[in-house]
Amino acid sequence: MTRRTALKAGSVVLGGALFTSSALLTACSSDRAAPPASTAGISTEDAQLLEEIADTILPTTPASPGARAAGVAPIVALLVNDCYDAPAQRRIRDGLQAFRALCVDRCGGAFTRLSPSERETLLAGVDAEAVKAGDAHWFHLARELSLRAYFSSETGMTQALRYVRVPGRWTGCLPLQPGQPAWG
């Protein structure tokens, strides 16, 4: 190898290292540009309403904490804002806005002021409407994200589901006893 060849190879390696480290540092930067207003995700108020809805779907029971205790709201907000496209974000946002109006129209107040039985009745009605409307309805996505966030949280995995940290061996099919939680 000549000195000229060694310098060329060294400069290529150095240039590649500088280019990739610069791109990596740019990608890891926490300075993200805010999305345009038309495609902005859900707001903090929307996330709080989603948490109330999720806590009604997954309430606290003697056997396990509810969705609020599991911290579902930040997870759902993160999933909607960072993982779903603008039409899905708009569907959730518009659906929550319509849900607020529905609460005032049918129950005379905000969802947070309703009793647990009124909340369940209202959500059962919204679920029936969502079944008729199909997959385009916002409630399907909100419920799916709530369930996903809850059952992938530490609380959901360890307290609502049966969780074994180191299972030992894999058994494909085991019968469940009545009342036994599913495996996490």
Q: pLDDT class for 56, splitting at 50, 70, 90?
A: very high
140: left (phi over 0), alpha (psi -120 to 50) or beta: alpha
Q: pLDDT class for 31, splitting at 50, 70, 90?
A: low
pLDDT per position as a tens digit, 85-109: 999 999 999 999 999 999 999 888 8
Q: What is the pLDDT of residue 44?
A: 87
Q: What is the pLDDT of residue 38?
A: 41
Q: pLDDT class for 68, splitting at 50, 70, 90?
A: very high
- Residue 167: pLDDT above 90? no
Nearest-Å Rg of the Cα atoms of the chain is 24
The residue type found at 175 is P
Q: What are phi and psi of 183, to 5 degrees?
A: -80, 140
For residue 36, give the DSSP letter. Answer: P
Listing DSSP states for 82-132 in one string gives HHS-HHHHHHHHHHHHHHHHHHHHHHSS-GGGS-HHHHHHHHHHHHHHHHH
Contact predicate 80/41, CB 8 Å: yes
- pTM across the whole model: 0.70
